[in-house]
Structure 1
Amino acid sequence: MRATFNTLFGRLFGVLLVAIVLAHVLAFFWFHHYGPPPPPPPETFVEQPDGTMKPLHRHHRPWFGGPVVPLTFQFISLIIAAWYGAKLLSRPIQRLSAAAERLSLDLDSPPLNESGPREARQAASTFNLMQKRIREQVSQRARMLGAVSHDLRTPLSRLKLRLEQIEDTKLQGQMRQDLDDMIGMLDSTLSYLHEQRTGETRHWLDVQALVESLSENAQDQGCDVQFAGSCAPLQVQPMALRSCLNNLIDNALRYAGTARIELTDSREAVVIRVIDHGPGIAADKREAVFEPFFRLEGSRNRNSGGVGLGMTISKEAVERLGGRLNLEETPGGGLTAVMWLPRA
């Protein structure tokens, strides 16, 4: 019997049952105390001096002797029981939702407390088991990545050394370029997978100072990067945001030769726009470029550098911050990357 009432159904049923029983018990004792309303006495009249007949005043039953008080109590008690029952139903769901949100930001977040009714304990236990398995899979993949990195870099390094023995300089240059491309693809892939498994802590950051610093660094290297706008500090993952901005600026410089960064601040969010006037991207391809290793034909292809992971890393970094990254057409031609970062 105790196990039955330790379930969510049992607790909710018990609360409603107690409320209904108490309400009816009160109504029973209330009507029993005051009894049924007495039958009306025969009408008695008194003759007035002017000869008219006036009925005698009868004593009326008090208003609280009727059904008003017990029915009001029943109504209030059922409202309280319904409110408490709704709280019982929503509390485990809220706990699961909060734990899922923590897990999406950090795989090493603390496990869910396995307490409460039986259904809530079962759901918490399943959630904790899922979190443990995800951590184990990610750890196993990290070990595999380390082995792949070591096993691939060693023969690639030996091949680069053996290139010096080739007398044909043209062939040597072509092979060296191919090896550099392979090493670059390996580094980009490992970097992307590392970004996926890294849970960086959020800190307050002067985003305006970061954008100004990135613009000045690019200008010092001879790149045309302009900056405009201002914003207040924002709570973000600093390394993830820096990586995202670097990728967007590099893309703009690679395909357009110039870039302009605009900051817009509001109570709800900070919006960062990276604008270029290059060849742009067709509207039906703008979502596809966020897929890993997706390559566009034409002017934005591998001949311009990269292996198709920069936009993927940028989008995932922004989504970890609870924001959005979209691509829009620049007025007059080109591409604008719009980064929306919430303040809440």
Structure 2
Amino acid sequence: MIRSIDTLFARVFGGALLAIILAHLLAFTWFSYYGFPPPPPPPPGHQAFDQAVPRPPPEMRGEHPPPPLGGPIVPFVFQLITLIIAAWYGAKALARPVQRISEAAERLSENLDSPPLQINGPREARQAAMTFNLMQQRIREQVQQRGRMLAAVSHDLRTPLSRLKLRVEQIEEPKLHGQMTQDLNDMIGMLDATLTYLNEQRTSEALQYFDVQALIESLAENAQDNGDDVQSSGQCRPLRAQPMALRSCLNNLIDNALRYAGHAWVEIEDSVDRLQIRVRDNGPGIPENLREAVFEPFYRLEGSRNRNSGGVGMGMTIARDAALRLGGQLHLEETPGGGLTAVLDLPRG
């Protein structure tokens, strides 16, 4: 019964009503004890002034001494304080559920597996929390179902594509054989990229402190061992993030620079609250009006990215998705002198 009437309206109304009753109770007690202030004396020359008889002091008349501060300012101040407290409590009671839902929505936007809201507080807050938790559960189930469906379709398509590739080998005409082989390789590459993207989407990785500088230097050394031109510079303190997500992001950015420019420079810029990692190249670059479009799945700029480059248009999508899981941002800008620079901006939490 008590829980059913524990509403936000009851809390705010009850607090304001209690403050008003206490303020009036103190005022009543005050005036009952000290009495109401006497009327002002008549002005000089008035008949009542000339006939006025001096009154003995309050002690001789059996009255209480005059109130402190010379008047009813104390009950008025108390009334003001109690009403301010009631207004503060009411505003906080109204804002607390909204703030909780806002924080939960922010966590949900970053991680679908964030902990659900606690079911407590007044009835309206409990209902909102239960509705929010139900919405989060349904979104998570829909995303998981979509991922399972796409992964199953992508996996099952590999079998007929592999059979087609074997049959294409029987084609004797060189031109037709090359075209069909290229098309099949592109389709298999798109399926592999889709599976990689979906697997990373389903991966839930805990935050931990690790050495980002050592990771970048390791990626550059591995690329150099393979004969690629990758250089790194700059220093930074350890960062609290998801190591596999950051490795995936940087790998795709470096691969993108190597694929279209043949080289990559990775620069680290550390500050108190941010960590910026820039992957530069002096390749053909991307027009400014198309720099956001390349983050769409399977989007390719045929002017600067030909079919023989090996890209299927998923690298930048995977990189931005990883950056968002890290709580950061990824955008593209022009390299001074020509080329493309991918800027990964990560917060220090």
TM-score, normalised with respect to structure 1: 0.89
**Cα shift readout 1:186-222 (whole Å, capped 9, x = no counterpart):** 1112222333333322111100000000000111111
- 1:321 paired to 2:326: yes
Unaligned stretches of 5+ in structure 1? 44-54
**Cα shift readout 1:149-204 (whole Å, capped 9, x = no counterpart):** 33211111212222333334443333222211110011112222333333322111
Corresponding residue of 2:298? 293
Distance 1:209 1:84 in 2: 51
Corresponding residue of 2:21? 21
**Cα shift readout 1:66-91 (whole Å, capped 9, x = no counterpart):** 22111111111122112222221122
Contact 1:269 1:340 in 2 (8 A): yes
Q: How many residues align?
A: 334
Q: Give the fraction of aligned pairs with identical amino acids, expressed as a percent.
A: 71
- 1:82 paired to 2:54: no
1:165 alignment partner, SS class: coil
2:269 alignment partner, SS class: strand
Distance 2:298 2:155 in 1: 22
Contact 2:120 2:126 in 1 (8 A): yes
**Cα shift readout 1:105-163 (whole Å, capped 9, x = no counterpart):** 33333322222111111111111111121122123223312431332111112122223
- 1:192 paired to 2:197: yes
1:333–1:36: structure 2 CA closer, same or farther, 3 Å change rule? same
Contact 2:20 2:79 in 1 (8 A): yes
- 1:34 paired to 2:34: yes
1:31 deviation in Å? 1.4
Distance 1:248 1:135 in 2: 29
- Which AA in structure 1 matches 2:160? P
Corresponding residue of 2:49? none
1:247 aligned to 247, 252, 275, which one? 252
Larger displacement relative to structure 2 (113-122 or 165-174) = 165-174
Unaligned stretches of 5+ in structure 2? 44-53, 59-64
Q: How does 1:105-144 map to 2 (within 5 A)?
A: 105-144=110-149
Distance 1:2 1:112 in 2: 22
TM-score, normalised with respect to structure 2: 0.88
2:341 aligned to 332, 336, 344, which one? 336
Contact 2:154 2:194 in 1 (8 A): no
Corresponding residue of 1:155? 160
1:343 deviation in Å? 0.3
2:289 alignment partner, SS class: helix
Distance 1:32 1:83 in 2: 30
Corresponding residue of 1:49? none
